[in-house]
Structure 1
Amino acid sequence: MALTLEQKKQVVAEVSEVAANAYSAVAAEYHGIEVGQMTQLRSAAREKGVVLKVVKNSLAKRAFEGTDFECMSDGLTGPLILAFAMEDLGSAARVVKDFNKEHKLLDAKIVSVGGEAFGPEELERVAKLPTRDEALAILMATMKAPVTKLARTMKEVPGKFVRTVAAVKDAKEAA
């Protein structure tokens, strides 16, 4: 059933709003996906904070105007599902990659991060990006390391003195 002009405007506004708030996006072909599998994909996406949209490419191009994902417009051809990462940079790529492990039905075409479009070969790299919590943990460990090393070094001076005194005591007792 064809969409009316008002419905098209509504779809463009909705996708534009999602794109304006997203960190990254993945466009993937979805040939051969059954309804149950699509439901499973949508459920996995919701759990990871990813918004999935299936829209006509012409409407997606209009929705991307003025957003970081305008660079994807040239590659929007064929039946595509758009995955937008709303919580962290790599979540959309992880959802597509994880779904492909089981079903091999999604064929990534474009990966967009920070206003740049990349080919499907970058999906793996983007999927490996840490989540916000992982990035904070890495940062905190990096910040904690020098303090920990300083404390160990400071503790070693009296420790070495105590071991030296104990060795002298043991030598005198043995003599």
Structure 2
Amino acid sequence: MTREEKEVIIDELSQKFSTTPYFFITSAAGMSVSEVNQLRRQCFDRGVEYRVVKNTLIKKALETLDTDYTPFESEVLKGFSGIMFHPESGKVPAQLIKEFRKKAGNDKLKFKGASVDYSLFIGESQLETLISLKSKDEMIGEIIGLLQSPAKNVLSALQSGGNKLAGILKTLSEKES
């Protein structure tokens, strides 16, 4: 690979890292070609972009960003590395990794690290944490639901109270006649 080709890849990665706040670094070492193709197919089906890139190129691309990714250098950027990008959620790639492991085996796809909204998650133990994260849309939905709940309670109380009041008035008017 020539220096110019490497610079093009670094520029592409820098652009991708800066515009995509959710990316995972994995290791697919030891996987067969058919297993990697199956992983790529699952990634495509879920809107996850998967690329295999040399660690030195990833490191140089991360150095161009404002966020400090130096913790990745010691543990994450070792051995075979593949990057999963998702434009909207840090949960989707984490779920994909977990489901792929169930089918192919736990030793096939290793989670090395992730950046979710520029927060770093390093090591296998962080995968369950990432799966439990809620997406931005899920959080907005929950907040809207919580805000609507008191209003719905007030409206239903007023409506049920109005029916009771009407029933009481009707009963009183019938009693007098």
Q: Shorter chain as normaliser: what TM range? A: 0.7 to 0.9
**Whole-Å separation in 2 of the counterparts to 1:130 and 1:48:** 17
The unaligned stretches of length 5 or more in structure 1 are: none
Q: How far does residue 168 in structure 1 lie from its aligned partner after superposition?
A: 6.1
Partners of 2:73 and 2:23 in 1: CA distance: 12
Rounded Cα–Cα distance in structure 2 between residues aligned with 1:114 and 1:134: 15
Q: CA separation in 2, counterparts of 1:155 and 1:143?
A: 20
Partner residue, 2:82: 81
Distance 1:28 1:42 in 2: 13
Q: Distance in 2 between matches of 1:47 and 1:69?
A: 31
The answer for the alignment partner of 2:57 in structure 1 is: 59
Q: 1:143 aligns with which of 130, 144, 147?
A: 147
Work out whether residues 64 and 73 of structure 1, in 8 Å CA contact, stay in contact via their aligned partners in 2.
Answer: no
Q: Tell me if the contact between 1:28 and 1:108 (Cα under 8 Å) persists in the aligned partners.
A: yes
User: Paired residue for 2:112?
Assistant: 109
Once the two structures are superposed, residues 55-108 of structure 1 have per-residue CA deviations (whole angstroms, 9 ceiling, x without a partner) of 111111001113347242332111121212222232222222221121121111
For 2:52, give the aligned amino acid: V
- Change in 2 beyond 3 A, CA 1:64/1:85: same
Give TM-score scaled by structure 1 length.
0.82
Q: Give 2:38's aligned residue.
A: 40
Which consecutive unaligned segments of at least 5 residues does structure 2 have? none
CA RMSD of aligned residues (A): 2.5
Task: Give the number of equivalent residue pairs.
Answer: 170
Q: Percent identity?
A: 25
CA–CA distance in 2 between the matches of 1:69 and 1:134?
28
